């Protein structure tokens, strides 16, 4: 199973000074690596579904309205499953995302996803389970690995923020190819998540969280 303990600043700098000085310099500029483990797995996945293919600002607005449907407590699978589609669409969710959310709730209720088992599975096993949910693809599963399970070796090659960060950091004329990102990932291993997190911070000073 992948490492989940957050590495120390010293370990991060030792690793990237040796493997990729560009990231090492970024670590020195930005400061400590900060990633909080969010064990509210269902809520994290709801937020990830909401965030798919829309701006951060739009996602925050819809997430806030979605949470307000639950009278002050966090959404749970049973309630989402029973909630009328029109109510969910009323907070700004597309018909497609309502279907995704309903299917996610069903997987939790029927226990085809067992939250307490997820930390004990490999990255590939977690991705396999989560992508069995309608509307959850590789990217959403990778965000879960990073923000819920704090796996340190996740490389979300399809993440637009990471692509733009790499382009800026390495002075590329265009966005990097998947092959190029995988090549960088090999240098970063086993701290791909750390390099990705610093890349995100290069673009946005706010700490990313789910």
Residue that finishes a domain, picked among 127, 147, 167: 147
Measure CA of the first residue to CA of the last residue in the chain; give whole Å: 22
Q: Do 71 and 162 share a domain, yes or no?
A: no
- Please give the tally of structural domains in the chain: 2
CATH code at position 189: 1.10.1670.40
What is the value of pTM for the model shown? 0.87
Arithmetic mean of pLDDT, 148-159:
95
Q: Do 97 and 158 share a domain, yes or no?
A: no
Residue 2 has pLDDT above 60, yes or no: no
103 is catalytic: no
In a domain, 2, yes or no: no
Radius of gyration (Cα) for the chain, nearest Å?
Answer: 18
Percent of the chain with pLDDT over 70: 96
How many Cβ atoms sit within 10 Å of the Cβ of residue 32?
Answer: 9
Contact status, residue 1 vs residue 174, Cβ threshold 8 Å: no
Contact status, residue 171 vs residue 135, Cβ threshold 8 Å: no
CATH code at position 137: 1.10.340.30
* Residue 23 structural domain: 9-36+153-203
Digit-coded pLDDT (tens) for 42-70 = 999 999 899 888 887 888 899 999 999 99
Helices (H) and strands (E) in the chain, counts: 12, 0
Question: Which candidate in 20, 153, 159, 204 is catalytic?
Answer: 159
Residue 124, helix vs strand vs coil: helix
Q: Which stretch of DSSP H or E encloses residue 86?
A: helix 85-90
In whole numbers, what is the pLDDT of the chain averaged over residues? 93
Percent of the chain with pLDDT over 90: 81
Q: Rounded to an integer, what distance in angstroms lies between the CA atom of residue 71 and that of residue 204?
A: 32
Q: Rounded to an integer, what distance in angstroms lies between the CA atom of residue 166 and that of residue 103?
A: 35
Closest CA to 35 of 200, 190, 185: 200
Give residue 57's pLDDT. 84
Q: Rounded to an integer, what distance in angstroms lies between the CA atom of residue 201 and that of residue 135?
A: 27
């Amino acid at each position: 199973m992948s490492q989940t303990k957050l590495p120390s600043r010293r370990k991060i700098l030792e690793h990237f000074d040796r493997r990729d000085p560009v990231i090492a310099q970024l670590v020195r500029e930005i400061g400590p690596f900060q990633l909080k483990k969010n064990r509210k797995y269902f809520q994290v996945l709801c937020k990830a579904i909401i965030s798919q293919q829309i701006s951060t600002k739009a996602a925050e607005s819809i997430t806030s309205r979605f949470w307000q449907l639950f009278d002050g407590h966090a959404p749970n699978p049973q309630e989402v499953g029973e909630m009328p589609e029109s109510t969910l669409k009323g907070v700004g969710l597309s018909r497609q995302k309502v279907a995704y959310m309903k299917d996610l709730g069903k997987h939790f209720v029927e226990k085809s996803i067992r939250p307490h088992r997820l930390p004990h599975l490999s990255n590939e096993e977690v991705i396999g389970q989560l992508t069995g949910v309608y509307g959850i693809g590789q990217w959403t599963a990778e965000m879960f690995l990073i923000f819920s399970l704090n796996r340190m070796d996740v490389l979300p090659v399809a993440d637009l923020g990471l692509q733009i960060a790499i382009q800026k950091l390495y002075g590329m004329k265009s966005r990097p190819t998947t092959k190029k990102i995988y090549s960088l990932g090999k240098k970063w291993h086993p701290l791909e998540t750390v390099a990705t997190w610093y890349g995100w911070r290069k673009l946005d000073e706010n700490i990313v969280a789910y």
